[in-house]
Chain A
Amino acid sequence: MVSDEKIVIVGAGPSGMEAALTLVKSGLRPIVIDAGARSGGQIYRRPPDSHRRSYTEIYGADAAKARHLHVAFDALGKTIDYRPNTRVWAAHEGALFLDGPSGRETLVYEKLILCTGATDRVFPILGWEAPGCYSLAGAQIALKSQALALGGPIGFVGAGPLLWLVAWQHLRAGAQVAGVWCTAPLKNLAFALPWLALRPRLALRGARQIVALWRAGVPIQFGARPRAVSVDGDGQVAGLQYSHGQETSEKKLQALALGWHLRSETQLSHLLGVPSVPRQHRPMIDGTGRSPVNGIYLAGDGVEILGADAARTGGRMAATALLNDLSRPQTMLTKLKSVLDRIKHVRMRAFAKGLTRAFPPPDSEHYRTLPEATVLCRCENVSLSAVRVASENWKCQDINRIKALTRAGMGRCQGRYCGATLTAIVASETGRARSTIPEHRAQAPIYPLTIVAKDR
């Protein structure tokens, strides 16, 4: 039997927290690695101790869930080895390479549950590199954990449930909302209704957010075509240019938040050799979260974007799969819960399919009309024209080759914020489906590290 110390959970969002809770119930003591200062991940991110807002003010309809998870995880205390402010910057054959408050460390594991979560999936518009443009989740973090509006008025561009949620949260918190530009047409939402009806309460909550924004007089556009970000004399965001039909209008604003759903943080699973599902850019797992690589389990938005509730069931399922593989005894209740989780998970996946249909990423027309000067890679300042040269003139159709030739995706963010764009552009240029374009290969370190020479 493996020693308890060798079970590691990476991530302390909803899936990592649930995985830890499940393992502790069976008498194990997992190590939980958290890049954040406190558990909760992004969705249930906690404000600093000095803040006094109530759970309802911060998490809205999810207040009870957030409180339940925070309380349950905090109650684990010393029954887990919790390591906040610690990042996994590389992984290789049974070892994780950590960078934390006490320096760097190599952690050998026998079983690993990856709950790495997600970051925003963003697509470029002309001028989006200007200061004052943020990711959608970034704007939400400012609101939740800093009680800050990144600008007033602030506009929201993209597609997906987060777009409406974050715009509505800003409205409710008293921020000045300039408008919501949803790039998905309204008819998509109608077609997706059969799937969305699978979770009627959640679908209704989203609908209520849209109605509340509309009733508050916030300009809302479906099928929006954002064209360019205008800047002022300082180079800061001053407006959004968008077209409807043949006309182009401009809305004055001070900040812009962009996001089209989320993208999974898959670097660690890639580095550890977990294969992707053929023709789908997501790590391969069985129905419970077990990967084909021995001893590696995955859960939450880091494997597939299904949201916080599915992250919780996923975390429990992955932990249960691990317990089964260790032949740990489980109570009838745990077994029953596990079956229920699997049923719930199927329903949540179908609902997520509906969301993907309702709120697709920008279509290939967006890329055909994108000005050549548009910056695709924010870190390395690589424009569309450079990528087009690589793709068209040099017949380069692999984003990893494009990265080598243009440096797009080679900068500080390691391709997190341009990978989806490069994939979409290669797909648009070659007429192939996005799912057939090979993904960015993960490279360690997956976060930039500092090298400090110290006097001894």
Chain B
Amino acid sequence: MPRAKRLSELDREVVSLHVDGTLVKALAGDTILTALLLNTGQTGTDAFNHTIQAGFCLMGACQSCWVWTTEGERLRACDAQVQEGLQIFTEGEKLRW
């Protein structure tokens, strides 16, 4: 469940992206992490106990918010901005090669 809340800057262009195949709406200037936190409320799952994760440091240091593009490229959700038509996967193994 999403927990994060927008406090201001609501007047921005809407951007659509696909997260694990599902259409997600975000605003221009959002990071992928922001888009995830406002929609599904999570990034991926922890590699050890499979609990959900939702980012931690937001400055590209902790590396806990990795997501993957269709090309298999790995991104930190906190330092990559959303783009129209972007497709991302929250688990590397969900990728269809």
Contacts and interface: CB of A to CB of B under 8 A. Distances in A.
B58 A134 contact: yes
A35 B73 CA distance: 18
Given A48-B81, A236-B41, A379-B64, A147 B57 contact: no
A174 interface: yes
A151 B8 contact: no
B31 A146 contact: yes
Interface in A412-436: 412-413, 416-417
Contact of A53 (B1, B9, B13, B27): B9
A285 interface: no
B35 to A, nearest CB: 10
A170 B44 CA distance: 27
Nearest to B12: A50
A450 B73 contact: yes
Interface residues of chain A: helix, strand, loop or mixed (majority): loop
Contacts of B29: 47-51, 146
A187 interface: no
Nearest to A453: B72
Contact size range, A: 35 or more
B52 A234 contact: yes
Given A133-B56, A151-B4, A235-B51, A413 B61 contact: yes
Interface stretch (A101-109, A136-144, A215-223, A333-341): A136-144
Given A235-B51, A236-B52, A119 B59 contact: yes
A147 B37 contact: no
B62 A416 contact: yes
Contacts of A146: 29-31, 34
Interface string B42-77: 100010110111111111111110000000111000
Contact of A236 (B28, B46, B54, B64): B54
Contact of B61 (A133, A416, A452): A416
A300 to B, nearest CB: 15
B61 A236 contact: no
A49 B13 CA distance: 12
A131 B50 CA distance: 12
Contacts of A53: 8-9
Contacts of B48: 380-381
Nearest to A35: B60
A135 B64 contact: no
7 contacts: A48-B81, A138-B55, A146-B34, A147-B7, A174-B7, A237-B3, A417-B61
Q: Lowest 10 CB-CB distances: which A-B pairs, in order?
A: A48-B29, A50-B29, A131-B54, A412-B63, A138-B58, A147-B9, A151-B3, A381-B48, A141-B58, A50-B28
Interface of A: 35-37, 42, 47-53, 57, 119-120, 129-135, 137-139, 141-143, 146-152, 173-175, 234-237, 254-255, 378-381, 412-413, 416-417, 447-448, 450, 452
